[in-house]
Amino acid sequence: MLQQIDTKSTDSISKLGIEIKGLNLNSKLPKEVIQKIRSAWLENGVAVFPNQDLTHDQFQDFSLEFGNFGDDPFLGGLEDKPNIVEVKRLASETASPFGGGWHSDWSFQSNPPAATFLLSKIIPPVGGDTLFANTQKAYEDLDEELKLKIDNLKVVHSAKLPYADDGFYATEEETRSMNIITSKEAKKEQIHPLVKTHLETQKKGLFINPVYTSHILDVTDEESFLLLSQLYEHMTQEKYIFRHKWSENMLLMWDNRTVMHMAEGGYDGYDRLLHRITIANSA
């Protein structure tokens, strides 16, 4: 059933992203097909499934083939489906697009999620691309001296910048239709290795991002800032980036252990709606 999988030729440089056609995700798939999908996803970081008009139950059922629901601490889900979050922006809104900075979903958690699923429902005719950066390839391309310098460093992650009670979403003046929950709990900190080994592929990657990584431990503030800035500049080179253009009824799943991502705007005056599910890291 997966013979029609093709890696997008436009993303051959970033080595990121694969499109999977020929599957109907509205019914249960055989275990061997799920395993092939998982292998393709782990290898490519992002899997794209076009033409998938799924109900909430069908969306949940397919997502649960890849693990248990993760915890979304600062986003409220649907009343009858609390594990599905509406990522939406109305045509009348002037607030900046949600997720507009480079990040890896919930990297501030003690065990950050393995996967995020995003299913498009209403897509504007312009703008709204999602960008993904290959954090494993970015690490592999570092020179050996820099690898030795960072391999054993620890970094602090926190959700305070966007989600604290005095953070970005709490203090912005514009109204949002999304159910964003701000809290002082967002100020809690979590330590992770700067270079993290993927538990399924055993590949090393840079586990840092500008939204949730606050600083490097056991170095001066200046050294932390300079080193993180150097790594962010390296990670976001065009050669590591896959730019995804949406159409309606398209499902994406990405590996938060392999990529960081960001959402672009450029669709003011249009409604936009996607449904999101987070899957916990059980590996």
Task: Give, in order, the Cα–Cα distances in Å from 231 to each of 94, 207, 267, 275, 281.
Answer: 32, 11, 30, 31, 25
Residue 178 forms part of a structural domain = yes
Domain count of the chain?
1
- pLDDT score for 2: 35
- Evaluate whether residue 3 is within a structural domain: no
Output the 3-class SS for 101-152.
Answer: CCECCCCCCCCCCCEEEEEEEECCCCCCCEEEEEHHHHHHCCCHHHHHHHCC
Enclosing domain of residue 70: 9-279
277 versus 2: which is more confidently predicted? 277
Domain annotation covers residue 133: yes
Q: Which two tokens stand for residue 244?
A: 């995804």
CA 133 to CA 96: how far, in whole Å?
21
pLDDT for position 120: 98
CATH of the domain at 217: 3.60.130.10
Cβ(154)–Cβ(189) below 8 Å: no
d(CA 250, CA 189): 35
| pLDDT reading at 5 higher than 90 | no
13 has pLDDT over 80 = no
Pair 274, 128: CB distance under 8 Å? no
Q: Closest Cα partner for 105 from 82, 78, 128, 135?
A: 135
**Is there a domain that residue 51 lies in?**
yes
Establish if 1 belongs to a structural domain: no
DSSP secondary structure string, 215-264?
A: EETTS-HHHHHHHHHHHHHHHTSGGGEEEE---TT-EEEEETTTEEEEE-
Residue 15 — pLDDT band, cuts 50, 70, 90?
confident
The confidence score (pLDDT) of residue 67 equals 97
Question: Given a cut of 70, is residue 7 above it in pLDDT?
Answer: no
pLDDT band, very low/low/confident/very high, at 283 (cuts 50, 70, 90): low
Alpha carbons within 13 angstroms on the beta-carbon side of residue 134 total 25
Distance between CA 72 and CA 145 in Å, rounded? Answer: 38
pLDDT at 6 exceeding the cut of 70: no
Q: Nearest Cα to 194, choosing from 223, 168, 162?
A: 223
| In a domain? residue 273 | yes
Helix (H, G, I), strand (E, B) or coil at 165: coil
- DSSP assigned state of 75: B
In a domain, 188, yes or no: yes
**How buried is residue 46: exposed, middle or buried, by Cβ count under 10 Å (0-12/13-18/19+)?**
buried
Q: What percent of the chain has pLDDT over 90?
A: 94
Residue 23 has pLDDT above 70, yes or no: yes
Q: Is the pLDDT of residue 3 over 90?
A: no
Residue at 237 is within a domain = yes
Q: 92-149: per-residue pLDDT in tens?
A: 999 999 999 999 999 999 999 999 999 999 999 999 999 999 999 999 999 999 999 9
Determine if the pTM surpasses 0.85.
yes
pLDDT tens for residues 167-224? 999 999 999 999 999 999 999 999 999 999 999 999 999 999 999 999 999 999 999 9
pLDDT at 282: 84
Average pLDDT over the chain, rounded to whole? 94
